[in-house]
Chain A
Amino acid sequence: MQFELSSIIPKAIADRPSVMQSDIWGLKINFSKGKNIKITAPSGTGKTTLVNILYGLNKNYTGQLLYNQKDLATITPAELSNLRQIHWSIVFQDLKLFPAITARENIELKRTMQKPVVASSEMEQMAKMLGIDSILNQPAGICSYGEQQRIAIVRALMQPFDFLILDEPFSHLDINNKKKAAQLIQRECEKRGAGIIITDLDKDEYFDYQENLKL
């Protein structure tokens, strides 16, 4: 299980000088299952673009991206949803929660989208661990951004996955919550033997990174 990036350059930022100094753009690089990979970069260098490319949302690039030898540019919608239900999980930078339904429903939606691998009681424990158990029945739209970030993290842990892709997942969390969230994520990844691909503005030591890359 691995992502194989061959000379990937997003067309939108192809002309920027930072592309030339990147550890990823335009190079041949693999992300293997089980490894924790940290991608650090300042704003505007394409962190979210990379996340979207890896998650199959952005196909506007040159080069080739394979997942298990399958070209993501030519994959069918059914195959893509299979990857998103079983192989990849994600915390988006903009979270992508449904504001009108409750936090619990947002999480349950992902838990029951495929055959559930996490029990409902386990989900409650995770919510408790991150301190959002009291707001589970509130519409996600009225929760604070920090709470929404934690809802999105719990939601991402509701499915089986080989890779957990995190796009600045702790940006609105205090240090204490960051640690708790990282702990939870680490535990769940270990359960699944999965790897983390995390992007952030700065270096950190929340996870034991096997690779530290600069975008």
Chain B
Amino acid sequence: MFNSLLKKLILKQSGKTKIWIARGGLGIAIFLLLTAIQIQSNYDFLLNNQTNKDSIGDFLVINKMLNNETIGNTEIDSSLILKLKEQSFTESIGILTPSRFKASIQSISDRFPFYTDISFESVPDSFIDIRNINFSWKPDADFVPVIVPNMFLDIYNFQFSISQNLPQLSPEIVKMIVFKITVYGNRGPVQFNAKIVGFSDRIASMLVPTQFIEWGNQYADTKESNSVSRLVIKTKDPSDPSIARFLMENQLNTNNEKLRFSKYRKIIDTVVSIAGFTGLIMLAFSLLIFTLFIQLNIANSKEEIGLLIILGASPNQLSRFLFRHFFPGNLISILAGIFLVSLLQFLLQQLLQTQAILIPAFISNTTLISGIVLIALLWYITVKTIKKYIYW
């Protein structure tokens, strides 16, 4: 009864349409702001979640750009390596050590005869994407483990085998084939048995254990050299535009396919920033409108509020009443904004699932907490404004 009388006395000119338009604006502001946060959260999820981890995505093999000026001088010096290490996008760096000895491989089976000259590379174990293998070598080992690029097997199965009328080979069969590696040095050629132990998408090289490369280089008695011409870096986000920028500035090269997302990322970042910024501006305006609206309502009923206080109504009673009048509608706007973002996230999840991109069906904790913080902010501003004008 008391509240309905207060409504009659204080809110006689409440301007319902105007306040609901303002609340619509608030809902859109919250939606834009939270969408920007949610897109960022989705992006982080895609980068960090194992389900989505693309084995080529996180590792970039880098070398000097080869052009007329750099021919014969493709060494990456230690200061550049140090600079690369200091970049925010670099998680770790691995140096690719090339074989500096002459080598060849050949089949020991007449069924699959082949022979070719070859070179190898080695890389620290942490950069190898084949798990559960013993990728090490000793001179008295039974065989040299070799990792070959997946691409090589594809070329064999889908081009070479067809043109040469040879059978196609599954990875499992290839792993069973033993072949010979011949290393040529001053003391004559040395042969080792070798086996392919895995296929990799990460580094387009024939990889052998570091110990084998070191042994071969020593055996071939090549001039000792620590020069580095290829590196592999582990990065959290290969689409980070600063990678492409750094490589360009330092005349470095990588597989551009791996960086093409950086262009899209730039566009998405811009769109997300604009959405977030627009959301922030709209939020600021909405809050200003609500503050003015409360102020206007109280000013319009100043006489009635004054008389109510004279008659014994406490400022707290009136504040509570005004809060209950203004806040729930605003809360509905914020909740509607959060609901819309949740709905969008769910639909996006359904859509991306069909393209084998997995994102969560629900909004992230960061988005949810941001929503809660916005509710708290609105609560605080409403309470503060009412108190300010009630206790005049």
Residues of A within 8 A of B (CB): 57, 77-78, 81-82, 84-85, 96, 98, 100-101, 105, 108-110, 112-114, 159
Least CB separation from B303: chain A residue: A98
Q: Is the CB of B309 within 8 A of A81?
A: yes
- Point out the residues of chain B lying under 8 angstroms from A113, CB to CB: 2, 311-313, 317
Contacts of B1-39 to chain A: CB distance below 8 A: 1-2, 5, 8-9
B307 at the interface (CB under 8 A from A): yes
Partner pick for B314 among A82, A101, A159, CB 8 A cutoff: A82
Residues of B within 8 A of A (CB): 1-2, 5, 8-9, 304, 307-317, 391
Q: Is the CB of B313 within 8 A of A98?
A: no
- Point out the residues of chain A lying under 8 angstroms from B308, CB to CB: 109
- Point out the residues of chain A lying under 8 angstroms from B310, CB to CB: 57, 84, 96
7 shortest A-B CB distances, which residue pairs?
A84-B312, A81-B314, A112-B2, A85-B312, A112-B1, A109-B5, A77-B315
CA A64 to CA B364, docked complex, whole Å:
62
- Point out the residues of chain B lying under 8 angstroms from A57, CB to CB: 310
With A112-B1, A112-B2 as contacts: A159 and B307 at CB distance below 8 Å: no
CA A113 to CA B9, docked complex, whole Å:
14
CA A85 to CA B310, docked complex, whole Å:
10
- Point out the residues of chain A lying under 8 angstroms from B2, CB to CB: 109, 112-113
CA A77 to CA B316, docked complex, whole Å:
9
- Point out the residues of chain B lying under 8 angstroms from A108, CB to CB: 1, 5
How many inter-chain residue pairs (CB < 8 Å) link A and B?
A: 51
- Point out the residues of chain A lying under 8 angstroms from B313, CB to CB: 81, 113
- Point out the residues of chain B lying under 8 angstroms from A159, CB to CB: 312
Least CB separation from B390: chain A residue: A77
Give, as a whole number of angstroms, the nearest-CB distance from B239 to chain A. 58
With A77-B391, A101-B8, A105-B8 as contacts: A110 and B314 at CB distance below 8 Å: no
Q: Is the CB of B9 within 8 A of A98?
A: yes
Least CB separation from B6: chain A residue: A109
Given A101-B9, A105-B8, A108-B1: 9 more A-B contacts, CB < 8 Å: A77-B391, A78-B316, A81-B309, A84-B312, A96-B310, A96-B311, A101-B5, A113-B311, A113-B312
Least CB separation from B9: chain A residue: A98
CA A212 to CA B5, docked complex, whole Å:
39
Q: Is the CB of A105 within 8 A of B314?
A: no
- Point out the residues of chain A lying under 8 angstroms from B8, CB to CB: 100-101, 105
Q: Is the CB of B5 within 8 A of A85?
A: no
Give, as a whole number of angstroms, the nearest-CB distance from B302 to chain A. 14
Least CB separation from A110: chain B residue: B311
- Point out the residues of chain B lying under 8 angstroms from A112, CB to CB: 1-2, 5
Least CB separation from A116: chain B residue: B1
- Point out the residues of chain B lying under 8 angstroms from A110, CB to CB: 311-312
CA A98 to CA B162, docked complex, whole Å:
99
Give 15 pairs: A residue, B residue, CB < 8 Å, sorted on A: A77-B309, A77-B315, A78-B315, A81-B309, A81-B312, A81-B314, A84-B312, A85-B312, A98-B9, A98-B304, A100-B8, A101-B9, A110-B312, A112-B2, A114-B312
Give, as a whole number of angstroms, the nearest-CB distance from B31 to chain A. 40
CA A84 to CA B314, docked complex, whole Å:
9
- Point out the residues of chain B lying under 8 angstroms from A105, CB to CB: 5, 8
Give, as a whole number of angstroms, the nearest-CB distance from A140 to chain B. 12
CA A96 to CA B311, docked complex, whole Å:
9
Q: Is the CB of B304 within 8 A of A85?
A: no
- Point out the residues of chain A lying under 8 angstroms from B307, CB to CB: 96, 98
- Point out the residues of chain B lying under 8 angstroms from A101, CB to CB: 5, 8-9
- Point out the residues of chain A lying under 8 angstroms from B314, CB to CB: 77-78, 81-82, 85
- Point out the residues of chain A lying under 8 angstroms from B309, CB to CB: 77, 81
